[in-house]
Amino acid sequence: MDHLTDGEVEGFLSGEMPREAFRRIVRHLMAPCRACGARIEAAVPRDAFLPAAPAEPDAYDAAIDRAWKKVRGLRRRWTEDQVRFDRGREWLSATPGGFSGLTNGQRQSLVPWVHVEILLWRSFEARYRDPRKMLEDADRAVYVADRIEKTPYGSGFLSDLRVRCWAELANAYRVTENYRYAEAALRQAREIHEKGSGDLMLLAYIDELEATLRKDQRRFIEACELHDQAFAVYRRLGECRVSGRVLVSKGITLWLARNPKAAVSALRRGIALLDPEQDQQLILTAQQDLLTALVDADDLHGAIHLLVQSDLREKLGAEPLNRTRLRWVEGKILAKQKRYAEAEKVFAEVRAGFRAIQLEYVAAVAGVDQTLMLVRMKKLQDAHLVARDLVVEFRRQEYRNNVNADEPLKALAFLEHVCASKVVNAFMAEAVRAFLDEAQRDRCLRFDMAGVMRRGMELRGEG
């Protein structure tokens, strides 16, 4: 724009002009236009400005010293609280009665926020061993944290502590499959976070937990979006390892969503971001998931290469469950190579392996894989013997302990019937296999026996 007119200078200084005209003048002055800036400066009376206060030479240093003094005090307190935390964990590990088994002196030494941290630690430790205990400790942590009035570390620390408690309670509800309560706890965590410190790491962690919940609810698109949100924040904060963990979780979500190729990509990127020294167990688990995704994506070359290069056989040799899972994937590779006789023997071995560690449901799924191989080899009598064994053992072990086993048992009984009737084909066995796989994660699923039979017979007629 042209230089300011006298009227524009006067209007600008008086503030009596339209907002858009005012903004246009500001943009002109910021260009900068030194001539108009000088005119504005000249038009302002000298006494319109307060004189600058003389700065004391060491005022800045004094402020820094005060800050360091406060930080040193908090750091000493933090170290003391860490000692309390470690000591409390040792006491509880040696006391079967939990907190009630501690002496009065021991309980009093655990200040409330340390008490909360110990409860969160116990909840995390119980996640695989005892989900109910995980939920109890997380619930207790929320109860204690919500009743803390203040801490030496300020209101932001207390707010974040409460956010963590509600987030862990949500995760405990998820693990115990109480999804409605998990959603409510996550909403509470987000509400507290919005009013608290605004810590981005904590926000990303909430996104990560909610992504896992959505995955368990089979809401895969929402889960992937939340994974992406958490990943973006972690990467922006320079948290390489944690962002790798999120990508691994996203890879599993994509695999469950029946998108193995995308799962392979996410898992590979995630593994590359993990630390080989600090994330050994996670890398090992992620490599197993990657191996499964590669097989499902029909990338047998990639699967065999990973199997050889990763030394998974040697690393998992002492772990019965993971060793059996790995052997199962090897059987799937053989099946995709149409080496059915070899695959059938591996699946029989896998079925026995899962039964040995009392995982009858998974043993049944492996048994259906074995039945499918026998059907492909036209060994229908052998297929019937295996299918009948699956029904008998499933009814004896799994059905007795699982109120949601009706539909899986119906699917297995259907497989036995079509094998006994010698009308079975690969489609029917594959349909039972796919149903059992999905029914592990969706307990409301119903087996469409009539539909599978009808389509199977149609394919049999076409063949």
| pLDDT the model gives residue 441 | 78
Tokens of 233: 């924040």
Is it the case that residue 2 has pLDDT exceeding 90?
no
Is it the case that residue 456 has pLDDT exceeding 90?
no
Confidence of residue 154 (pLDDT cuts 50, 70, 90): confident
Q: Is 350 within a domain?
A: yes
Q: Is 444 within a domain?
A: yes
| pLDDT the model gives residue 62 | 58
Cβ-in-10-Å burial (0-12, 13-18, 19+) of 184 comes to middle
Tell me the per-residue pLDDT of 379-392, one tens digit each, with 9 for 90 and over.
Answer: 999 999 999 999 99
| pLDDT the model gives residue 57 | 52
Cα separation, 99 vs 90, whole angstroms: 12
Q: Is 16 within a domain?
A: yes
Q: Is 219 within a domain?
A: no
Tell me the per-residue pLDDT of 42-96, one tens digit each, with 9 for 90 and over.
Answer: 766 665 554 555 555 565 555 555 555 556 667 787 788 788 888 888 887 777 7
316 or 59: which leads in pLDDT? 316
Q: Is 431 within a domain?
A: yes
Tell me the per-residue pLDDT of 104-119, one tens digit each, with 9 for 90 and over.
Answer: 777 777 888 888 999 9
Tell me the per-residue pLDDT of 355-406, one tens digit each, with 9 for 90 and over.
Answer: 998 889 999 999 999 999 999 999 999 999 999 999 999 988 765 566 568 8
- 336 CB-side CA count, 13 A: 17
Domain total of the chain: 2
Q: Is 369 within a domain?
A: yes
Please state the three-class secondary structure of 118-187 as a single string.
HHHHHHHHCCCCCHHHHHHHHHHHHHHHCCCCCCCCCHHHHHHHHHHHHHHHHHHHHHCCCHHHHHHHHH
Say if CB 459 and CB 425 are below 8 A apart.
yes
| pLDDT the model gives residue 353 | 94
Say if CB 373 and CB 335 are below 8 A apart.
yes
Q: Is 390 within a domain?
A: yes
Is it the case that residue 204 has pLDDT exceeding 60?
yes
Could you give the percent of the chain with pLDDT greater than 90?
A: 57
Tell me the per-residue pLDDT of 405-451, one tens digit each, with 9 for 90 and over.
Answer: 889 999 999 999 999 999 999 999 999 999 998 888 777 889 999 99
Tell me the per-residue pLDDT of 332-351, one tens digit each, with 9 for 90 and over.
Answer: 999 999 999 999 999 999 99
Structural domain containing residue 29: 1-45
In this structure, what are the phi and psi dihedrals at residue 442, rounded to the nearest 5 degrees?
-130, 100
The length of the chain, given as a count of residues: 463
Average pLDDT of the chain, as a whole number:
86
Q: What is the pTM of this model?
A: 0.77
Tokens of 367: 């048994």
Q: Give me the mean pLDDT over the 246-255 stretch.
A: 97
